[in-house]
Structure 1
Amino acid sequence: MSQPDADVQLLASALDFEPDAVGIRSREPLGAGSVTGMQVQGDERLLYYLDTSALPVRAETGLVAMDGPQPTRIWQHPADPHLPALAPVAFEHAAGSLLARLGLGAQAAPVLIAYRPGRRAVLSVTTAAGAVWLKVVRPSRVERIVRAGVAAAAAGIPVPAVHGWSEEGLIIMAAAEGQPATDVEWDPRELLDHVDDLRARLARAAWDHRSAGILGRLEWYASRGDDRVAAVLADAQRLVEGSTGEPSIAVVHGDLHFGQLFLDADGISGVIDVDTLALGEAAEDPAAFLSHAIASALLTNGAARERVWALADLAAGRWAEDARVRALTLIHLAGHMIAAGERGDSARVTALVDAARAVTAGEAPSSSGAKNALMDSFESP
C-alpha cells in the first residue's frame, strides 16, 4: 500500500485528521518550495493550504511549524499570509466601503473569480458604473504590476484602466473592453494573426523586468512528476540543448493564452493579467499559447472542440518549427500533466502525453491520440 503524500501527512498530523480524509486540490511551485491546497472530506468549508515556500510575510495568519530550518505554514482561505489584502476585500461590507471611497458604489457582494494561493486572487464586484475587478497580489509586487500596466498601455496594448491601488497589494480595475475570447466564436487563423500583432506591440514596450519564465519551473516539475512527466521533460531538455545560438529576448506577456484576451469586431480589444510582463525569451508567449490551446481542447465539447483543436494545430504550424517553442510548450504540458495526475485524472494525463509526443515530433497536436482520448467523458451535445 502506497504512503500518503508528504504534504497530506504533514497537514493531517498538524490538524489531527486521518490522512485518508484529506485530498489534494492543487499544488504549484512557490518560492523555495510549494503551496498545496487540500480538502478535508465531509466538509466543503475545510479547504486548507500548506506552504513550504519560505517566503517572508508581513504577519502570520495560521499555524506555523518549524520542523526544519524554514517554516511550514498552514492557513485557510481567505487568510492567505502572502496576500494581506485578500481577507479584508473578500466580504461585502469591507469591499463596499473601499469602493465607496473611490466613488464606486457596490451593488452586490464580491465574487471570487480566481485564486492562486500565495500569488494572487481576483474578485468581481457589480457597481453602478459596471463590473469592477479587485486584484489582490503580494505587497512586494503591487507597484511593479501597476507599472507593467502603464508600460503595456503606452505600447498600445488595450489593458483595463486602474481606478486605484494600495501598498497592501490591492489593485482596483475597470473591466476589459469587448467580450471574453472564451465566450465568443472566432476564426483560428484570424485570432493567431491578432496574437502575432499583439506580440509585436508587446515587444516594443519599454520594460526591463526580467523573468526566468517556464524554464525556471523545470526542476520543480521534475521533482513532482512521474516517469511520464520525466520523459516529457527529458524531451524538452534535449530540444533546449539542441537549439543553436542564444535564445531571442523580447518583452513578453509571460502567461499568454486566449483566456487572457477580449475581442470585438476589429480583433483584440482587451488584454488582461499583464502582471507577468517581462523581458524574457521570445518563445515564452507562443509556447504558453500553444500549450493552453492543447489543454483547453481536451476540455472542450461540442462545435467549439474542433475550433480549439484547429487553433492548437495552426499555432503549432506557425510557431513550433522553433525548437525552443516546442521545448517550452513541453514544460507547460508537463505542468498540466502533474496537475491532472494529482487530481487522479489518468485519462487526461495520457491525452497530454500523446499531445506532448506530437509537439516533440513537430506534428499537429490533433494528429495524436489526444484529440479523441477524452471523448467518452463528454455528453453528446
Structure 2
Amino acid sequence: MTVPKQIVTNQIVTEQSATKWGAALHIPDAVTIDGQDWSVRRAWPAGDSRIAWEAFLPGQGFRVGYLDEHGATVLDADRDPKLPGLARLLADGGRLVSHRPGKRAVVRLPDGSFAKCVRDGKASDVIAGQRRAIGFLPGFALPQVLSSDSSTVVLSVVPGVELHDPARLGAEWSRAWAESLDAWAQAEAHPTSTVAAAAPEMPTAMPFHGAADEVEVLRTWRERARPLLETARSVRGETLLADVDELITEVTISLDDGTASARDGSIGLIHRDLHDKQIMWDPISGPGLLDVDTASRGERALDLGNLRAHARWRTEQGLWTPAEAAVVIDEIARVVPASGIDPARVSVYERATLIRLACVYAFRPAWIDRIGWLIEAAHAM
C-alpha cells in the first residue's frame, strides 16, 4: 500500500508552534514535549475536527493531548479536566496504565486494584456493564467492583496473564486458549441474580446488539476514519475509503440475512469486543474476562468472529507466529459446532471486524501502512 506524504513516518510535531498540516489528515509518530520526543501509540477521533492522542516515553510514562488545525495541545501531566477523579488517584500513588483524553483512563492503585476514570456521571455505565456480564460466571473470573463514585470505579484484579502475550504463557498457550473458549461457551443466555453483583441498585436491563447495530458501528467508524482513508490507496489503486464503502455494502447484505440468523438461533450473552487483550488466564484460577462494559445479548457468532479477526491480525502485526494464531483459530472452530453456531455467521462477523480494525488502526501511526492488509483480508473472505 502506498502511504501518502501526509501520513509518512517520522513526523514530529512540537507543542511550541503550530504546524501546517491538517490534524484530521495527519497523525504524527511523536510529539515533542520539553525537548523530548514521545512516541504516539494511539489516537482517536475527538470531534470538532480534533484528534486525541496518547504518547509514551520509556521511564517517563504517558502524556496525552489533542491535535487540530493549529497543531498539538499537550495536557498537563497527570491531569485531564474531563476526568475529575484522575489527578487524585495519581496523587495517591496510582500508576497510569492507559489514557484516552477526555474519555477514560485506567490507573493501577498501590494495592494492586485498578480504577477506571470516566466523565462525571458515567461510572454508573461501567457498573451496569459489570452486572450484565455476570452470566460469564462461573466460566470466567470477572473483576469485582470494590468502590465507586460518579466518575471512578475501582475494580479487583483478575489473576493471570493476558492472552495477548504468547511468550509469557509458553507451553501453556494451547491450554489457556482451550480453557478460555470453553469458558466463553458456558456463558448464560440470560444472566440471573444467583451471582452476587456490584451496585445492586443499578438496573440490569440487557440491551440487544443485532445485525443492524453492528452495521451502524461500521458506518460510524467509517465516518470517523474517512479523512485518513480517502487519502490512502489500496493495491488496486482505489482509495481505502472506496474499498471500505464497498466492503460495508457487502457485509450489510450478509448481516441482514435474517434466514441465516434465525437458523442459527444462537442468541445469548456476548462481550461485543472480545479479543486477546480482554482475556486473562491463570493455571490455577483459569480464565478471566476484562472490560465487560459492552456486555449485551446478541448473536454469539459476533464474539467468535471478532476474536478470529484479531488472531489473524496479530500474525500480520508480527506479534504472534502463524502456529500461535492457528491454536486460537482451531479452538474457535472447535466450539462453533458445539455451541450450535452457524460457521457462516462467524465468518461474516469476522469480516465486519476486519473492516472496523482498518478504521481503528488508521489512527495508530505504527500501523497506518499496514491497514491495507486488513482491507485485503476482508476482500478475500
- TM-score of the superposition, structure 2-length normalised? 0.65
Contact 1:253 1:276 in 2 (8 A): yes
Q: Is 1:349–2:349 an aligned residue pair?
A: no
Aligned to 2:129: 148
Q: Is 1:162–2:145 an aligned residue pair?
A: yes
Contact 1:235 1:327 in 2 (8 A): no
Aligned to 2:243: 228
Q: Distance in 2 between matches of 1:149 and 1:346?
A: 33
Aligned to 2:114: 133
Q: Distance in 1 between matches of 2:99 and 2:305?
A: 23
Aligned to 2:187: 201
Over the matched positions of the two proteins, sequence identity in percent amounts to 21
Bigger relative CO (Cα 8 Å, ≥ 6 apart): 2
Contact 2:132 2:191 in 1 (8 A): yes
Aligned to 1:375: none
Aligned to 2:292: 274
Q: Is 1:76–2:75 an aligned residue pair?
A: yes
Give deviations 1:213-244, integer Å, cap 9, x for gaps: 54332212333242232233233223213452
- TM-score of the superposition, structure 1-length normalised? 0.65
**Gaps in structure 2 of 5+ consecutive residues:** 8-12, 28-39, 56-60, 193-203, 230-239
User: Secondary structure, in 3 states, of the residue corresponding to 1:176?
Assistant: coil
Q: Is 1:335–2:356 an aligned residue pair?
A: yes
Contact 1:237 1:327 in 2 (8 A): no
Contact 1:162 1:172 in 2 (8 A): yes
Cα RMSD, aligned residues only: 4.0
Q: Which amino acid aligns with 2:372?
A: T
Contact 2:132 2:206 in 1 (8 A): no
> 1:4 deviation in Å?
6.8
Q: Which amino acid aligns with 2:119?
A: R
Aligned to 1:308: 325
Give deviations 1:338-375, integer Å, cap 9, x for gaps: 244443745522322343234x2xxxxxxxxxxxxxxx
**Gaps in structure 1 of 5+ consecutive residues:** 6-11, 52-62, 64-73, 96-108, 361-381
> 1:278 deviation in Å?
1.7
Give deviations 1:285-339, integer Å, cap 9, x for gaps: 112212222222222357x552124423553675495433323322321232224
Aligned to 1:263: 281
Contact 1:287 1:328 in 2 (8 A): yes
Q: Which amino acid aligns with 2:346?
A: V
> 1:123 deviation in Å?
1.4
> 1:122 deviation in Å?
1.0
Cα gap change, 1:245 to 1:288, in 2 (>3 Å) = closer
Contact 1:133 1:172 in 2 (8 A): yes
User: Secondary structure, in 3 states, of the residue corresponding to 2:109?
Assistant: strand
Q: Distance in 1 between matches of 2:294 and 2:74?
A: 26
Contact 2:107 2:115 in 1 (8 A): yes
Cα gap change, 1:18 to 1:339, in 2 (>3 Å) = same
Q: Within 5 A, what are the aligned runs for 1:5-24?
A: 17-20=18-21, 23-24=26-27
Cα gap change, 1:328 to 1:33, in 2 (>3 Å) = farther
Q: Within 5 A, what are the aligned runs for 1:282-293?
A: 282-293=300-311
Q: Distance in 1 between matches of 2:300 and 2:67?
A: 34
> 1:257 deviation in Å?
1.7
